[in-house]
Amino acid sequence: MLHILLITILFNFACLAQVQKKTIPIETLDNIMLLENDSAGHLSMIYLGKKLQRTEEYQQISQQYDHQADYSGVLANAYTSAGSTNLVEPAITVTHSDGNNSLNLLYVTEKRQEISDNITLTSILLRDPVYEFEVELFYKAYYSQNVIEQWSVIRHHEKSPVVLQKFASANLYLKGQGFWLKQFHGDWAKEMQTEESLLTHGNKVLDSKLGTRANLYQPPSFMVSINSPAKEDHGEVLLGTLAWTGNFRFDLEIDPLNNLRLITGINNFASAYSLPPSEDFTTPSFIYTYSSQGKGKASRNLQDWARKYRIYNGTGERQTLLNNWEATYFDFDEQRLSKLIADAKKLGVDLFLLDDGWFGNKYPRNNDHAGLGDWQENKKKLPSGIGYLVAQAKKNQVGFGIWIEPEMVNPQSELYQQHPEWIIKQPARPEYYYRNQLVLDLSNAKVQDFVYGVIDTLLSNNAGISYIKWDCNAVIYNAYSATGVNKSHLYIDYVKGFYSVLKKIRERYPAVEMMLCSGGGGRVDYGALQYFNEFWPSDNTDPLERIFMQWEYSYFFPAIATSSHVTDWGKQPLKFKTDVAMMGKLGFDIVVAKLDEKDLAFSKNAVSFYKSQNSVIWHGDQYRLMSPHENPFASMSFVSKDQKQAIMFNYLVSARYGAVTTSPIKLQGLNPSKYYAVKEENLYPGTLSSMAQGKVYSGDFLMQVGLNPILNVKRTSVIISISETDQKLKKK
Ligand code: DGJ
């Protein structure tokens, strides 16, 4: 923190010499971001990178760049406005109360607040010299994690409302010799596919307009490499993600100076926002981390930040579970479920999770055409109610979890008949369904109360429920709120309504574990994860696909939040499936009764092995050692923070040309001067390891030379534990 003081003193001194010039540092452990205003008052971002050794040299940075092509001096603006001299993509566009569309935001003042030893909050006030309109930019720097959380607050004191046409969270300016965007796309069961490309001049937009389930096609996370595509352990890279569970928009514009203008925030699509005088409009935060040491370091920083500061109970524990979705789909009754509950105990998992199909009477939920909205136990399937199942779980000493999709309604439901005004649809157009359902209008306070009430009733009537899987299967078609005053507020107010329900639930039920699910991974973001313990990455549980998906998710989200279940998807052996599921928060969705003796014994051992390792997987540092995108193998490891324990997951992902691991895979993150005993774990009953069990190597050896997990068509998945030992190397 002494550094910050020194830098600030230096810059303040410089300000005296060069009138009005102010350089504002946003500092973290390894990096610094510099903002500076010019004589006209435009605030620009002049640097983001590794800290310089000599702080006095920060002042020399600007002079090294030729800005002649920046005719109005706003290309590098820290929050670019529209309608005056800026002619590139703006961060903010407004229509003032008098109908004028011009805005010019100039630096007024800044404040710094030490929130804790690790967190500093810098706010910078910008104001329009003509209109009574201002924006405050907030930069929350998490020092040790090298993470910055940025958002803006927009307000005005004009006579009547101002319409916000665009309202970004952050506007960054990155300088370099080329920028490579790594983006993600997908669909149901195809989440987190990745593409990397060199950004060319002009504006590239990544966005979502789907409303709920906003990430179905594209998640609100990306990375940009600077100067060359970054590798795991070298290269400059910025990882960014927007904490917003709705429509988002990222502009990536290569400007005439060949630099990257990055603008991130809520999507302004069909969302003009009418802001009354003296009210604050607070944007969601854009969370980013810069690393000059590759993608691996950046992702570990982000994961650390997420566990400590964002994910609900991110530093805590999780429950392993048995889910019945794929085991039964909608076809179950009390007896069948009671057997499955007993199976959960047999398997050794912590809880049984009852999925879709338990509700609706007039319109029973026996398939996905009916029942959503009518959250009463189906009397035919569950004559003794949820309470009976909770009691069964208790009897079997496992917890009980339940699936719910409270934001939705099927046209075949009592709710649909009772409250047509609660449903998002166009009044004069035919209804259009996604999975035979419509979305309830969470911008309406009455709907918020209804949704909260459903959860509250469920949890207060059944005190034993310790887990909720919150699903969201439909996108918003025909966006229109019957009760909303400003029709273009719907997309934004929906998400705010969603958060206010979750906030209330969390206040009342802090201990209940919650899974964020959206027909798979249609909702994975740090806006929702402040309320949820974990997320469901995809309905695609084919372990081969999951190796790729979880690889990509792991850049932004830690394993503790990444639910991963063993199911019938995929043709791989049970061991392969289980080993893959262990790289996240382990669960099962299988019919335990169908497992033969060996499979059952293997699964039970796997659960107890996972429990012995979970703290390394959940709280350790994750290293992507060998990419399945570039090799016939994938290798991933987790290392405990004290470097005493590591676990290495290895898979054969392509058997072409008789692939075998002919060379060792280098480990990372160990202590080079310590010794480690290496052991293959989670072996299928009756198989022997091809590796020397318990052999001791130095950390130096394991990281310089590496370890061969001996993958081949007969050993497609190998888990290795690496444990510090006092035992030295044996001399011959
Ligand atoms: C979609 C989820 O992703 C599945 O896991 C399951 O819960 C179904 N919905 C139930 O309808």
**Which residue do the tokens 């419509």 mark?**
438
CA 54 – ligand 1 centroid, Å:
55
Q: Is the CB of 359 under 6 A from ligand 1?
A: no
Residue 46 has pLDDT above 90, yes or no: yes
What three-state secondary structure class fits 652? strand
Bridge pairing between strands 92-95 and 162-174:
antiparallel
Q: Which atom of ligand 1 is nearest to the CA of 538?
A: 3
Structure tokens at 557: 């989200």
Residue 317's SS3 state is: coil
Q: How far is the CA of 249 from the centre of ligand 1 (A)?
A: 27
The contacts of residue 107 (CB under 8 Å, 6+ apart) are: 22, 37, 41, 42, 43, 124, 125, 126
CA of 175 to the centre of ligand 1 (A): 44
Going by the DSSP 8-state scheme, the letter that residue 528 receives in this structure is G
Please, are residues 144 and 135 in contact by the beta-carbon 8 Å criterion?
A: no
Q: Tell me the per-residue pLDDT of 201-254, one tens digit each, with 9 for 90 and over.
A: 999 999 999 999 999 999 999 999 999 999 999 999 999 999 999 999 999 999
Residue 460 and residue 300: Cα distance in Å, rounded?
A: 39
Of the given ranges (37-46, 102-111, 348-357), which has the lowest mean pLDDT?
A: 37-46
Which amino acid would we find at residue 124? Answer: I
Q: What letter represents residue 237's amino acid?
A: V
Q: Residue for token digits 């010794």? A: 675
Pairing of strands 248-254, 236-242: unpaired
pLDDT at residue 16, as a whole number: 38
- The span from the CA of 352 to the CA of 3, in Å, is 52
Residue 71: exposure state from Cβ atoms within 10 A (0-12, 13-18, ≥19): exposed
Contacts of 714 (CB under 8 A, 6+ apart): none
Q: How many CA atoms lie within 13 A of 55 on its CB side?
A: 21
**Averaged pLDDT, 475-492:** 98
Q: For ligand 1, say whether the CB of 49 is within 6 Å of any of its atoms.
A: no
Q: In this structure, are residues 191 and 549 in contact, taking their beta carbons and an 8 Å threshold?
A: yes
Given a contact cutoff of 8 angstroms between Cβ atoms, the answer to whether 722 and 645 are in contact is yes
Q: The pTM is what?
A: 0.96
Q: Output the residue whose Cα is nearest ligand 1's atom 2.
A: 519
Q: What is the pLDDT averaged over residues 457-481?
A: 98
Question: In this predicted structure, what is the pLDDT of residue 12?
Answer: 40
Counting from 1 in the atom list of ligand 1, the atom nearest the Cα of 403 is 7
Is the CB of 251 within 6 Å of ligand 1?
Answer: no
pLDDT mean over 352-369: 98
Average pLDDT on 3-20 reads 43
CA 668 to ligand 1 center in whole angstroms:
37
Structure token digits, residue 627: 């990419």
Task: Name which residue sits closest to atom 11 of ligand 1, judged by CA.
Answer: 356
Q: What is the DSSP string of 420-455?
A: GGGB---TTS----BTTBEEB-TTSHHHHHHHHHHH
For residues 532 and 312, the answer to whether their CB atoms sit within 8 Å is yes
What is the predicted pLDDT for the residue at 4? 46
Residue nearest to atom 10 of ligand 1 (CA): 356
- Tell me if 497 CB under 6 Å of ligand 1: no
Question: Residue 403: CB within 6 Å of ligand 1?
Answer: yes
Residue nearest atom 4 of ligand 1, based on CA coordinates: 519
Whether the CA torsion 359, 360, 366, 367 is positive or negative: it is negative
* Burial classification of residue 13, based on how many CB atoms lie within 10 Å of its CB (0-12 exposed, 13-18 middle, 19 or more buried): exposed
How large is the average pLDDT for residues 99-103? 98
Answer yes or no: is pLDDT of 432 > 60.
yes
* Average pLDDT score, the chain: 95
Both tokens of residue 204? Answer: 């590239």
pLDDT tens for 176-214 read 999 999 999 999 999 999 999 999 999 999 999 999 999
Residue 3's pLDDT band, with cuts at 50, 70 and 90, is low
Contact at 8 Å (CB) between 222 and 250?
Answer: yes
Cα angle: 131, vertex 133, 137; to 5 degrees = 145
The string of pLDDT tens digits covering residues 486-545 is 999 999 999 999 999 999 999 999 999 999 999 999 999 999 999 999 999 999 999 999
For 108, the token pair is: 């007024």
Predicted confidence at residue 247, as pLDDT, reads 98
Q: Determine the 3-state secondary structure of 162 from DSSP.
A: strand
pLDDT above 80 for 79: yes
**Rounded distance between C-alpha atoms, residue 172 and residue 222, angstroms:** 14
> In the 8-state DSSP scheme, what is residue 244?
-
User: In terms of Cα–Cα distance, which of 627, 673, 619, 617 is closest to 647?
Assistant: 617
- State residue 11's pLDDT score: 39
Dist CA 466 CA 408 (whole Å): 23
665 touches 649 (CB < 8 A): no
Contact present, 619 and 300 (Cβ < 8 Å): no
Strands in 465-470's sheet, in edge-to-edge order, are 534-535, 513-516, 465-470, 399-404, 351-354, 321-323, 585-588, 563-566
Helix (H) or strand (E) holding 621: strand 621-626
270-296 average pLDDT score? 98
List of domains in the chain: 2-310 (2.70.98.60), 321-539 (3.20.20.70), 622-725 (2.60.40.1180)
pLDDT tens for each residue of 539-570: 999 999 999 999 999 999 999 999 999 999 99
Residues 55 and 531: their CA atoms lie apart, in Å, by 40
Q: Is the pLDDT of residue 438 over 70?
A: yes
Q: Which two tokens stand for residue 215?
A: 């990430």
Total Cβ atoms within 10 A of residue 203: 14
Q: Is 304 in the pocket of ligand 1 (CB under 6 A)?
A: no
355 lines ligand 1 (CB under 6 A): yes
Q: Report whether 194 contacts 586 (CB < 8 A).
A: no
CA angle 92, 97, 98 (to 5 degrees): 110
Higher pLDDT, 21 or 637: 637
Closest CA to 245 of 273, 216, 214: 214
Question: pLDDT at residue 6 above 60?
Answer: no
Both tokens assigned to 205? 């937009």
325 C-beta closer than 6 A to ligand 1: yes
Q: 380: exposed, middle or buried (C-beta count within 10 Å: 0-12, 13-18, 19+)?
A: exposed
Q: Assess contact for 311 and 459: CB atoms under 8 A.
A: no
d(CA 392, CA 381): 15
Tell the residue number behind the tokens 């910050």, with chain if given: 4
Give the tens place of pLDDT for each residue, 711-731. Answer: 999 999 999 999 999 987 665
Ligand 1 pocket member 90 (CB < 6 A): no
pLDDT, position 730: 62
Q: Which two tokens stand for residue 301?
A: 């920083």
The pLDDT of residue 458 is above 90? yes
Asked whether the beta carbons of 454 and 509 are under 8 A apart, the reply is no
Locate 393 and state its tokens. 């779980």
Residue 503, pLDDT score: 98
Radius of gyration of the chain measured on its C-alpha atoms: 27
Mean pLDDT of 380-386: 98
Calculate the alpha carbon distances from 50 to 7, 27, 66, 634 in Å. Answer: 15, 10, 21, 31
Could you tell me the pLDDT band of residue 63, with boundaries at 50, 70 and 90? confident
What's the per-residue H, E or C state across 41-92? CCEEEEEEEECCCCHHHHHHCHHHCCCCCCCCCCCCECCCECCCCCCCCCCE
> Residues in the chain, how many?
732
